[in-house]
Amino acid sequence: MHYELCGLKFASELPLPELLPWSGDDRPADVDIVLGSVGPSLDEAIHVGPFFQASRDGSCRYEIADVAAYRIEGGRRITIAPRLPVGEPAIRVFLLGSVFGLLCHQRGLIPLHAGCVEIDGKAVAFAGNSGAGKSTLAAAFHRLGFPILADDVTVVDVNGAARPVVLPSFPGMRLWRDTMDALDISSGGLDRVRPEIDKYLIPIEQNPVRSPLPLSMVFHLRIAKDHRQVGDQLLAGSSALSALLDSVYRRMSAFRMGRREALLARLMRVLAAPSVELTRIMDMDQLDATVDHMVRRVRTEMELVSG
C-alpha cells in the first residue's frame, strides 16, 4: 500500500490506517517500510544504548521490548521486526512517533515535539514536553474550527523555501480518556494507542491539511504555578535558539547520529518565525481562553509583519 505523510510517499508492507492513501503521481516511493529481520546490533556502531543505536553511516536501530525492533537507513528505508502480531497498534505508535522522528533527522528535516494548527493560512506550532498539554490544545483548536497539522510531532522543512514551512502530519489526535471526557468526545469505536494505557487515537476525517504551510510562530508551553505567572514573552537571539533546540524531538538521538552542527544550522533558519514563551494554568476551563489568547497573539504579529 502507498500512503502519504508530510508530503512523502510511503510504500509499506505494514498496513497504516492512520495515514491518508497516496493521491499523488506514480513516482517511486520516498520511503519503503518492510517487514523483516533486524539484527541485535549495527555494524560500526558509534552509539549503543538500551533502546537506540547509531552507526557511522547514519543508520539507526530502535527497539521497544515486546513491541518491535526497527532499523532506519538513509532516510529512505525502515525495516520492522515485530514482537507482536502485525496488526497491533503499538507497532504503529512507535513507527509513526520515535522512528519517524529519526527518519526526519536522516532526511534533514526538523521534527519538533509540538502540536501545530493552521491560523489564517499559516502554521502555528506549540511545543512542550510530554504532559505539557499539546494534544489537548490541538483538540481545543480543532473544536473551534482550526485545522490541525500535527498533535505531537511537527515537521519543519528549511531546505528549499525562503521561510520555514510545516509539512502536515497524519490526520489524527491522541488523547487521554479524561481529556476526551472533558471535551465531550466519545471513545466508542476508537482504538487505544496501546492496550495498557487509557489513551485513544481520534481520526480527523473532514478536510485534513495536505499542503505545506509557512511557519508563522512557535509557542513554547510552560506551566504556571499560580495566576501571577500567566502570560507570554517574545524570545530573541540565543533564548529563542535554546528554546527551539530544547523542543527538537529525539534531539539527543540526532546528536548521537553526528547531526548536531547540521541541526543547529537548520534551527537558525527556523528563527525567521517568532518564538513566544507561553505560561499558562493547566485548567480545562481555561482552554478556550488560551486558544483565544494565542490566536490574538498570532494575528497581532501578522499585522506587524504585513504593516
pLDDT digits (tens, 9 = 90+) for 161-190: 778 999 998 777 788 888 888 888 887 878
Average pLDDT of the chain, as a whole number? 90
Label residue 1 exposed, middle or buried (CB < 10 Å: 0-12, 13-18, 19+): middle
183 or 246: which carries more pLDDT confidence? 246
Predicted local distance difference test score (pLDDT) of residue 307: 55
pLDDT higher than threshold 90 for residue 46 = yes
Arithmetic mean of pLDDT, 223-228: 75
**β-sheet bridge partners, residue 199:** 176
Residues 52-105 have pLDDT tens digits of 999 999 999 999 999 999 999 999 999 999 999 998 888 998 999 999 999 999
Backbone angles phi, psi at 99, to 5 degrees: -65, -40
Nearest to 153, CA basis, from 141, 139, 169: 169
Cα-based angle 94, 264, 298 (whole degrees, multiple of 5): 80
Please tell me the number of Cα atoms within 13 Å of 49 on its side-chain side.
14
For the chain, the distance separating the N- and C-terminal CA atoms, rounded to the nearest angstrom, is 47
Confidence of residue 206 (pLDDT cuts 50, 70, 90): low
Confidence of residue 272 (pLDDT cuts 50, 70, 90): very high
Give the separation between CA 256 and CA 250, rounded to whole angstroms.
Answer: 10
pLDDT higher than threshold 70 for residue 306 = no
pTM over 0.85: yes
Confidence of residue 44 (pLDDT cuts 50, 70, 90): very high
Lowest mean pLDDT among 9-13, 93-97, 299-303: 299-303
